[in-house]
Structure 1
Amino acid sequence: MNITVERAAFLAALQRAHRAVERRNTIPILANVLLRAEGGRLTLIATDLDIEIEDSLPAECAAEGEATLPAQTLLDIVRKLPEGVQIKLEVSTDNGTATLRAGRSRFALNWLPASEFPSLGRLEDGVAFDIPGHALADALARVKFAISTEETRYYLNGIYLHRDPQVADRLRLVATDGHRLSLASLTVEGLPEFPGVIVPRKAVDELERLAQAADKAPLALLLSPVKLAATLGKARFTTKLIDGTFPDYGRVIPLGNAHVATLQAEELLSAVDRVGTVASERGRAVKFTFGAGKLVLDVINAEGGGSASEEVDIAYAADDIIIGFNGKYVVDLLNATAKTGPIEIALADPGSPTILRRPEASDALCVLMPMRVS
C-alpha cells in the first residue's frame, strides 16, 4: 500500500474512527485501525467488537492494499503534524513496517495484517428509513441521561427505540433507570414497522455525534433484531444491540396527575442547584412544598452539612403538596430537557410518580419517582 492524503481530512477521519478503539483490551489488534486503499479513497475502520466506525477520504493511491496500524499512535502523529501538509504512507511487506512521511518528518510503525482484523459484518438486510439528523440528535440528548448504569439490569443500559403503537409515523425513544424515565418522540415519514430494539449507551453517544454531523440532512438507519447501522455520506456506524426485553414503561407513566404547577425551568434549575449544595452525597433529598403562588425548596442535612431553603414563583391553584425528589435527578433532567422556558410539574400525591414536561408538549415527557423527606 502506498498512498498520499491531505492531513486535515486524514485527521478528521482518524478522530472519528478512534472513538471505537478501547484503550484497554486483551486482543492487541483491537488497538489498531484498519486502513484500506482502493479506488482513489482511503477507508478507515475501527471496532471494539460491540461498535464499528467506518469513514473514508480521497487519496492518491500509488499502490492499493490494506493493513492495520496502532490507532492511538497514528492519531497522535497526525495531530502533531503541521496544518496543510501532505502525508505519504507506505506499508512494506518486506520488513513489517509502515513508513509515514510529512514534510521533514518521518515515522516507522509496526503493522499487523488486515486478515487478522475482526469485523462486525456489514448489515445488509433489515428495516431501512431516513431520519432528520438534528431531530434524532435532539431526541437522543433529551433521553440518554436516564439510561441505567446498573449492570444487573442490562436491558436498561440503553435507549429503547420503537414505533409508537398509536401513531404510525412516530418514532419513540425511551430510557429509564427505575428512578426516572425520559421519553421523546419524533415524526418520521414512512416509518416502517419493526420490533423495538435497545441501543447501548456507548452506541447512543456515537449515534448522537453522527446525527449532529448530519444536522438538517437525513441520516440513513438500517435496523435488524441484533444490529443497527447509521450512514451519513461515506461515514458509517454499526453497533450490536442489547439482547433483552425492555419493560412495559407505559405502566409507570401516570395518567391522573391533576395537580399542575407551571414555572420557569431556569429558576427551578438554579434554585435546586443552590439548595442542593448542603445536601448529603448519599441522599441528595430536596423537599418540594407546592402552595398557592410559590414552591418552597428545603434541604436539611442531618449529617452536619447544614440546611437551605429557597422560594420559586409558580402558577399553582391546587391543594398544597409536600413531596421529595433527588436534587441531582432534577438538575440532570432539566439540563437535558428544559434549561429555559416554562415547564409543568404534574403531581398526584406525595407517594406517586410525578411528570415534568413542556406545556402542551406531546412529543416528550419525564417521569420522576418521589423519595422520602422529613
Structure 2
Amino acid sequence: MKISIERAALLKAVAQAQSVVERRNTIPILANVLIEAEGDRVTFRATDLDIEVVDRAPAQVERAGATTVNAVTLNEIVRKLPDGALVTLADDGTTGRLAIEAGRSHFQLATLPREDFPVMASADYDTNFAAPAPMLRRLFDKSKFAISTEETRYYLNGVYMHVADGEGGKQLRCVATDGHRLARIDADLPDGAAEMAGVIVPRKTVAELRKLLDDDDAQIAVSVSETKVRFATEDITLTSKVIDGTFPDYTRVIPQNNTKRLEVDAADFAKAVDRVATVSSERSRAVKMQIDEDRLVLSVNAPDAGNAEEELAVAYGDERLEIGFNAKYLLEIAGQVDRENAVFLFNASGDPTLMREGNDESAVYVVMPMRV
C-alpha cells in the first residue's frame, strides 16, 4: 500500500477513528486502525467491538492495499505535522512497518496483519430512513445529560430512541433518565421511520454520533435493527450495538397534574442558581426555591461554608411554595433551554417538577426535588 493524502483530510479521518479506540485493552489489534486504500479513496476503520466507525477520505492511491497501525500514535503524529503538508503512507507488506513521510519528517510505525482486525458483522436492518443533522443533534443533545452512569442499571446507560404518540401524531422521540431527572424530546417523524423498533443507544455511541451532526446541511442515513443502529453520512459510517435491555415506562413519572406555573428568564435563572450554589457543599449542592407572587428567592444554607440568597422577578400567581433541588440538576436542565423563558410546573414540595421551554411541548424535563 502507498498513498498520498492532505494532512487536513488525514487528521479529520484518523481523529474520528481513534476516538472509538479504548486506551486500555487486552487485545492488541483493538488499539489499531485499519487503513484500506483502493481507487481514489482511503478508508480508516476502528472498533472497540461494540462500536465501529468507518471514515473515508480522498487520496492519491499509488499502490492499493491495507494494513493496521496504532490509532492513537498515528493521530498524534498527524496532529503535529505542519498545516498544508502532503503526507505519504507506505507499507510494502514485508517489513511489518508503516512508513509515514511529510516534508523532512519520517516515521516508521509497527503494524499488525489486517486479517486479525475484527470487522463488525453487517446486520440486516429492519428500518431505514434519513433525518436532517440538526434534528438528530437536538434530540440527542437535549436528552444526553440525563443518561445514568450507574452500571448496575445498564438499561438506563443510553438514550431511548423510539416512535411515540406526541403533539399532532406520531413523533420520533428520545428519552433519557437516571431516576433523578428525565428528558423527553420529540421531533417530526421522518419518512420510513414509522415501524422502527425502540432502541437504547449507548452513552459512548451518543458521544461519537455528535461528531457526525455538526453540518447543518447534512442528511443522516439511519438504520435500525433489534441489535444494532447505524448512522451514516457520505464520508462517515458509525455502527453500534444497542443496549440489550428494556427501557422502563417513563410516562409514569411525567406528572400530568402539576398546575402551579412559574415562568422565569432561563439565562437569569441559571446564572442565579450557579451563584448561590457556590457556597453549598459539593455532596448535596441543595438549593431552596421559595416562590411567592411574582417573586422567587433562591437560597443555600451550608453550615460549614456559609449561606447565599438571591431574588428574581418571575411570573407566578399561585399559592406560596418552598421546594429544594440539587443545584447540578437545575443547572443542567436550565442549560437545555434555547428559548428566552423556562416554565416550571409544580404540584407540591415533595412531588416531581416539570419544566418546559416556554410553550414548546416537544421538550419536557422532569426533576425530582430534595429535602432542604
| TM-superposition CA deviations, 1:205-232 (whole Å, max 9, x none) | 111221223x232111000111111110
**Closer, same or farther in 2 for the Cα pair 1:57/1:246, shift >3 Å?**
same
Task: Please name the residue that 2:347 is paired with.
Answer: 348
Asked if structure 1 preserves the Cα contact closer than 8 Å seen for 2:341 and 2:357, the reply is yes
> Quick one: distance in 2 between partners of 1:266 and 1:94?
61
Q: What are the superposed Cα offsets for residues 285-304 of structure 1, whole Å, 9 maximum, x if unpaired?
A: 111111001011111113x1
SS of the counterpart of 1:363?
Answer: strand
CA contact (8 A) 2:99 2:106 kept: yes
1:204 to 197, 203, 206: 206
Alpha-carbon distance in structure 1 between the residues aligned to 2:94 and 2:220: 43
Letter in 1 for 2:255: P
Any stretches of 5+ residues in structure 1 without a counterpart? Answer: none
**What TM-score comes out, normalization by structure 1 length?**
0.96
Deviation at 1:86, TM superposition (A): 1.7
Report if the CA contact (8 A) 1:266-1:339 is conserved.
no
Distance in 2 (alpha carbons) for counterparts of 1:168 and 1:339: 24
Deviations 1:269-312 (A, max 9, x none): 1111111111111111111111001011111113x111111111
Q: What SS is found at the alignment partner of 2:361?
A: coil
Aligned to 1:76: 76
Shift in Å, 1:46: 0.6
Q: Retained in 1: the 8 A contact 2:339–2:358?
A: no
**For 1:168 and 1:10, how far apart are their aligned partners in 2?**
44
User: Which stretches in structure 2 are left out of the alignment for 5+ residues?
Assistant: none
Q: 3-state SS of the aligned residue for 1:307? A: strand
2:186 partner letter: S
Matches within 5 A, 1:205-244: 205-213=207-215, 215-244=216-245
Q: CA deviation at 1:125?
A: 2.6
> How far did residue 124 of structure 1 move?
4.0
Instruction: State whether residues 123 and 229 of structure 1, in contact with CA within 8 Å, keep that contact through their aligned partners in structure 2.
Output: no
Instruction: Name the Cα RMSD after superposition.
Output: 1.3
- Out of 189, 195, 198, the residue aligned to residue 197 of structure 2 is 195
The 5-angstrom pairing of residues 97-176 of structure 1 reads 97-166=97-166, 169-176=170-177
1:68 alignment partner AA: T
The aligned residue for residue 370 of structure 1 is 369
Deviations 1:171-207 (A, max 9, x none): 0000000000011111133232122110010100111
Comparing 279-288 and 187-196, the one that deviates more: 187-196
Whole-angstrom distance in 2 between the partners of 1:105 and 1:292: 70
- Are residue 334 (structure 1) and residue 337 (structure 2) matched? no
Instruction: Count matched residues.
Output: 370
Structure 1's 237 and 24: CA in aligned 2 closer, same or farther, altered over 3 A? same
SS of equivalent to 1:299: strand
Q: 1: CA distance between counterparts of 2:125 and 2:180?
A: 37
Q: Please state whether the residue corresponding to 2:273 is helix, strand or coil.
A: helix
Corresponding position: 1:17 with 2:17: yes
Secondary structure of the corresponding residue to residue 280 of structure 1 = coil
CA distance in 2, matches of 1:293, 1:342: 14
Contact 2:148/2:158 (<8 A) preserved: yes
Cα deviation, residue 235, structure 1: 0.9
Tell me which stretches of 4 or more aligned residues in structure 1 moved more than 6 Å. Answer: none
Q: How does 1:52-91 map to 2 (within 5 A)?
A: 52-91=52-91
Amino acid in structure 2 at the alignment position of 1:351: G
| One-letter amino acid of the counterpart of residue 330, structure 1 | L
Aligned-partner residue type, residue 205 of structure 1 = A
Does structure 1 retain, via aligned residues, the 8 Å contact 2:197–2:224? no
- Going from structure 1 to structure 2, the CA distance change for 1:128 and 1:99 (only over 3 Å counts) comes to same
Task: State the distance in 2 between where 1:58 and 1:285 align.
Answer: 53
Q: Secondary structure at the match of 1:164?
A: strand
Q: Which letter maps to 1:224? A: S
Superposed counterparts of 1:30-41, under 5 Å: 30-41=30-41
Q: Distance in 2 between matches of 1:322 and 1:203?
A: 39
* Matches of 1:24 and 1:168, distance apart in 2: 46
* Residue identity in the other structure for 2:237: R
Aligned to 1:121, what secondary structure does the other structure show? coil
| In structure 1, distance between residues paired with 2:67 and 2:276 | 56
Distance in 1 separating the partners of 2:6 and 2:136: 31
Q: 1: distance between equivalents of 2:17 and 2:285?
A: 39
What does the per-residue CA deviation read over 1:218-259, in whole Å, with 9 as the maximum and x for residues that have no partner?
111000111111110021001111000000000000000010
CA shift for structure 1 position 340: 5.8
Indicate conservation of the 8 Å contact 2:340/2:358, yes or no: no
* Alpha-carbon separation, structure 2, partners of 1:163 and 1:340: 25
Q: Provide the identity percentage.
A: 45
The TM-score, its normalising length taken from structure 2, stands at 0.96
Find the residue that maps to 1:33 and give its secondary structure. strand
Give the letter for the 1:362 counterpart. Answer: E
- The 1-side partners of 2:225 and 2:126 are apart by 5
Secondary structure at the aligned position of 1:276 is classed as helix
Alpha-carbon distance in 1 for matches of 2:143, 2:134: 14
**Structure 2 counterpart SS, 1:271:** helix
Q: Aligned partners of 1:194, 1:135: CA distance in 2, in Å?
A: 17
1:168 deviates by 5.1
